[in-house]
Amino acid sequence: MVGIYFTLGVFLLLAAREPLRHLSLIWFTVWMSIVHGGIMAVQALSDSQHHGHLLGDVPALFIAAAVLGTLTPRRAALEPPTVAG
């Protein structure tokens, strides 16, 4: 998992230079973090051996998803308004 997250981090750093060109990677990371955090939360709640994940990994994944999703520019917000008519 460390190798996967390290590789993803490198590509996210590269994507940060031109986020609008890399929205799919950024949103993949947001949703992957939410899903991964959700799965880990369910596993931690169902197996006492993994309760520690509820204090570290799970909140970290949800916080990372929230921060990345909040800071990602929206394509529509950067486009000039169109005049209908």
**Which tens digits make up the pLDDT trace of 3-23?**
998 999 999 999 999 999 999
Name the 3-class secondary structure at 16: coil
CA–CA separation, 81 vs 47, rounded Å? 52
**Which tens digits make up the pLDDT trace of 45-82?**
998 888 888 888 999 999 999 999 999 888 665 566 56
Q: Is 0.95 topped by the overall pTM?
A: no
**49, 14 contact by CB (below 8 A):** no
